């Protein structure tokens, strides 16, 4: 089969690799019908040391189950399923608590031999990992359903971690696909004011359509000042940090009002967390991490099927597998918000 392999910064290749197959009895094999390129794929695309082994890429997909192992009970061949970016058994203590990304038998796609930017992918812990969709594989809402594998669930997680609730003021740091889904999540949870910090015209336009009430294009001190102006000098109750840079984290903490909360889902690029002093003196709670998107699918799916939310609009380019290297380039140069890979 063919799959995406990254060999170093800027070096993404489509190669023929051994076919995905059932290895463990709890595995399934998914024929990928749609995958995506993620903002987090751009970190290795910018920084990865050259390697001869290569890394299999892709952690978001929808597809059709084409094989299951002997111990798989709830998933069957032919099911149309969404694959969360982490696999999990669905039964351990952390899965029971809704924290599937900390599953004792879990792990992440886009590593080792499990990459979803491919014709097929092996799914460890198939019963706990896969979510069967009540639609055919070419359903009209497929692009929005695909976001359940990462960006919509991740935006929702940021909102939950930031304690978004009806009537609250919210700010979103980061206008990528996750930040845009964070706007959807904040509105869905009843936020009254939703301030998007971003400066790309196409993304801002989408943010407004998703429910952003104010746009702040400034950065650093000027951004902090502007958010305060928009909130009677107070700052916001909830901040969704969807970038992961030190500077964006510091901004997030500084625009939170005393007693507020920052929900972070941008993968931190530094060991130390900035903003310790303002976070302390303003009693700001900082929470978040890898989103347990598997736990959120059941809640978010009905809103997509009923057309209440349209997170699939974050996809503004579609490529086939051969177009994946060009898709990485386009996303890295910010020519596009998010790329869908359609086989």
Applying CB under 5 A, the span of 70-78, 88-96, 113-121, 301-309 interacting with Zn ion comes to: 88-96
Q: Which residue has the tokens 């790329």?
A: 339
Smallest separation (angstroms) from Zn ion to the CB of 93? 7
Candidate list 88, 144, 248, 336; residue touching Zn ion; CB under 5 A: 88
**Cα(156)–Cα(158) distance, integer angstroms:** 5
What are the start-end ranges of the E strands in the chain? 2-8, 11-16, 28-37, 55-56, 61-68, 80-83, 86-87, 107-108, 120-123, 131-132, 169-173, 193-197, 214-216, 236-241, 256-264, 285-288, 315-319, 338-342
**Cα(151)–Cα(313) distance, integer angstroms:** 12
In this structure, are residues 183 and 196 in contact, taking their beta carbons and an 8 Å threshold? yes
Which is closer to Zn ion, CB of 72 or CB of 262?
Answer: 72
Instruction: Give the number of residues in contact with Zn ion, rule: CB under 5 A.
Output: 5
Candidate list 92, 133, 215, 236; residue touching Zn ion; CB under 5 A: 92
Tokens representing residue 83 in the block: 């694959």
Applying CB under 5 A, the span of 91-99, 110-118, 158-166, 333-341 interacting with Zn ion comes to: 91-99
Candidate list 27, 41, 79, 89; residue touching Zn ion; CB under 5 A: 89
Which is closer to Zn ion, CB of 81 or CB of 95?
Answer: 95
Smallest separation (angstroms) from Zn ion to the CB of 125? 8
Applying CB under 5 A, the span of 34-42, 94-102, 216-224, 247-255 interacting with Zn ion comes to: 94-102
Candidate list 67, 72, 103, 164; residue touching Zn ion; CB under 5 A: 103
In the chain, what is the straight-line distance between the N-terminal and C-terminal CA atoms, in Å?
Answer: 12
**Cα(170)–Cα(240) distance, integer angstroms:** 8
Binding string, 203-232, against Zn ion, x = CB under 5 A? ------------------------------
Smallest separation (angstroms) from Zn ion to the CB of 87? 9
**Cα(215)–Cα(247) distance, integer angstroms:** 18
Per CB under 5 A, does 126 bind Zn ion?
Answer: no
**Cα(122)–Cα(28) distance, integer angstroms:** 6
Candidate list 3, 62, 65, 95; residue touching Zn ion; CB under 5 A: 95
Residues that bind Zn ion (CB under 5 A): 88-89, 92, 95, 103
């Amino acid at each position: 089969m063919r799959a995406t392999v990254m060999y170093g910064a800027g070096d993404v290749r489509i190669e023929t690799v051994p076919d995905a197959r059932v290895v463990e009895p709890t595995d399934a094999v998914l024929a990928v019908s749609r995958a995506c390129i993620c903002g987090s794929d751009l970190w290795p695309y910018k920084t990865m040391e050259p390697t001869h082994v290569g890394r299999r890429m892709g952690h978001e997909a929808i597809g059709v189950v084409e094989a299951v192992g002997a111990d798989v009970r709830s998933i069957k061949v032919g099911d149309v399923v969404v694959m969360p970016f982490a696999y999990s058994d669905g039964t351990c203590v952390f899965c029971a608590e809704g924290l599937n990304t900390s599953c004792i038998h879990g792990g992440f796609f886009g590593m080792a031999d499990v990459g979803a930017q491919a014709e097929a992918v092996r799914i460890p812990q198939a019963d706990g990992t896969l979510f069967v969709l009540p639609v055919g594989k070419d359903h009209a809402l497929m692009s929005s359903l695909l976001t359940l594998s990462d960006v919509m669930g991740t935006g929702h997680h940021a909102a939950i971690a930031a304690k978004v609730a009806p009537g609250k003021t919210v700010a979103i740091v980061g206008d990528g696909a996750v930040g845009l889904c964070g706007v959807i999540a904040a509105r869905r949870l009843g936020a009254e004011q939703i301030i998007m910090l971003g400066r790309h015209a196409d993304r801002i336009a989408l943010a407004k359509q998703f429910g952003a009430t104010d746009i702040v294009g400034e950065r650093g001190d000027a951004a902090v000042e502007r958010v305060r102006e928009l909130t009677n000098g107070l700052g916001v109750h909830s901040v969704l940090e969807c970038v992961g840079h030190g500077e964006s984290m510091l901004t997030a903490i500084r625009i939170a009002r005393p007693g507020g909360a920052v929900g972070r889902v941008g993968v931190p690029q530094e060991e130390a967390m900035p903003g310790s002093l303002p976070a302390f003196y303003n009693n700001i709670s900082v929470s978040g991490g890898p989103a347990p998107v598997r736990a959120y699918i059941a809640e978010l799916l009905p809103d997509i099927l009923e057309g209440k939310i349209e997170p699939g609009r974050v996809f503004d380019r579609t490529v086939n597998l051969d177009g994946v290297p060009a898709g990485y380039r386009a996303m890295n140069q910010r020519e596009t918000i998010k790329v869908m890979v359609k086989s």
